[in-house]
Amino acid sequence: MSRVIIRSLNKRFDGVHAVKDVNLDIHDKEFVVLVGPSGCGKTTTLRMVAGLESITSGEIMIGDRIVNELPPMDRDIAMVFQNYALYPHMSVYDNMAFGLKMRGFDRTEISNRVKAAAEILGIEEQLQRKPRQLSGGQRQRVALGRAIVRHPQVFLFDEPLSNLDAKLRIQMRVEIKKIHVRLGTTAIYVTHDQVEAMTLGDRVVVMKDGLVQQVGEPLELYNEPANRFVAGFIGSPAMNFATVEMADTEGALWARHEGIRIKLPAAIAGRLRPHVGENVTLGIRPEDLRVASGSEEADLSFDAVVEVIEKLGSQILLDVRVGPNTMVAAVEPTVKAKVHDRLRLALNPDRLYFFDRVSQAAI
């Protein structure tokens, strides 16, 4: 059993409350990603799990032990750092063997483990080289190998792919996922990149200002964001937001704003009825907008003026102006639109999000 349980975890640096009351249950063999903008407390949380940062209050359990007071070496974890942190004066082999030597493994066992890890990572040829003779991707592999050889209870990753170029990052992302599937070691992974979080995580923890915003499976976060921050953070391009007023006319509920007038389907009207007469935040994902055909219902569409066209190939992003707001619509690549064109955009009524203006929570 190598679950990790975090209970009411807090961290205060001189006057800064960096991590606020974090609770998290990470199951055995699970891959959990902590994601959030810089300064959200995700790395601090990870470093507390590693034992590199003291805990102000709360409790961390790895396996069945409370590790609050244990030094990093006794926690049975392995960590991969953003800048690789390879020992520059040691060969790749010695880098990977260091942790085993420190723990008093015998030579043949060390050699077997290092060779096995090198084979998994495809770095058998580089074992005698020094880190500075390796490319960025190879260094990253060595850093991974150093974690693998130890057979730890938990892998900790601190933005391990941030220093790689875009192409290599995608490649290494897949490899990390493969290694996790193969070894089945519990993993906690920190990143600021929501795509990385969505592709790697069995579950994703979204953090902001030291607080956990939402914990869930990637599609759960995408489809049912708990608040406006999660809605805006998960998904690329980001969700469009507009302030609308709820109005009850002729028995139907309408979301109104300059340039927007949408009749809400009965399914969600019930939830929003208490907010009649108030302003709420409307959220629409760019991929839920499309260019309206003639037969479209006028109640579920609005006029927009095209300002910028981004042709990505598989889709086109239209940056449009709707009344005072700007929005992005991800439309079919076959759409012919020009800058300054006036279009009518239709939306998917089942995929509208509403957030409270004050608490930012989903309605």
Cα(first)–Cα(last) distance of the chain, in Å?
Answer: 38
Q: 34 vs 230, which CB is nearer to other proteins?
A: 34
Token pair listed for 199:
């592709």
- CB of residue 125 vs other proteins: minimum separation in angstroms? 20
Q: 26 vs 347, which CB is nearer to other proteins?
A: 26
Contacts to other proteins by CB under 8 A? 50-52, 71-73, 75, 77-79, 81-83, 85, 87-91, 94, 98-99, 102-103, 130, 132, 146, 150
Q: 16 vs 73, which CB is nearer to other proteins?
A: 73
- CB of residue 209 vs other proteins: minimum separation in angstroms? 25
- CB of residue 71 vs other proteins: minimum separation in angstroms? 7
Q: 133 vs 348, which CB is nearer to other proteins?
A: 133
- CB of residue 67 vs other proteins: minimum separation in angstroms? 12
Q: 36 vs 51, which CB is nearer to other proteins?
A: 51
- CB of residue 103 vs other proteins: minimum separation in angstroms? 5
Q: 188 vs 221, which CB is nearer to other proteins?
A: 188
Q: 42 vs 228, which CB is nearer to other proteins?
A: 42
- CB of residue 236 vs other proteins: minimum separation in angstroms? 29
- CB of residue 84 vs other proteins: minimum separation in angstroms? 8
Which of 250, 360, 344, 244 minimizes the C-alpha distance to 297? 344
